[in-house]
Amino acid sequence: MIGEVVIPLKYKNAHRFSEGLAAIKLNGVWGYINKVGEVVVPLIYNDAKRFSEGLAPVFLNDKWGYINKAGIVAIPLKYDNASEFIEGVAFIYNGGWGFIDKKGVEYWTD
């Protein structure tokens, strides 16, 4: 029904749904919920971005990395910055910009 609350309005911040999940923030930490409001990735991250191509950039202990939809780290959290995937690659930064593929192979521009 239009206007019906499906997910309780209890989160401090939230991103739009992407690939069936949305990053949400509560009590200063981020995690992910599904479309019925169930937490599917625990709220443990300092920041989180949207899922794209099955992976999402997450920030913890001053580093970015990538998790899969089960919340398992797919690419280690070791980057100063990381973007969402587009056509199989994402931007990463560690003193210089580069790209990473979904297997974690890095391609540096310098």
Question: pLDDT value at position 3?
Answer: 77
CA distance 69 to 73: 10
| Amino acid identity for residue 104 in this structure | G
Q: Count CB neighbours of 25 within 10 A.
A: 18
| Residue 17, in any domain of the structure | yes
Q: What is the pLDDT of residues 89-104, one digit of tens each?
A: 999 999 999 999 999 9
CA distance 14 to 33: 10
Domain hosting 56: range is: 13-77
CATH number of the domain to which 53 belongs = 2.40.10
Q: With bands split at pLDDT 50, 70 and 90, how would you rate the model's confidence at 20?
A: very high
In the chain, the number of structural domains is 1
Q: What is the pLDDT of residues 74-86, one digit of tens each?
A: 999 999 999 999 9
Q: Is 0.85 topped by the overall pTM?
A: yes
User: CA of 5: how far to CAs of 34, 46, 55, 110, in Å?
Assistant: 15, 27, 28, 49
| Residue 68, in any domain of the structure | yes
Q: With bands split at pLDDT 50, 70 and 90, how would you rate the model's confidence at 109?
A: confident
| Residue 61, in any domain of the structure | yes
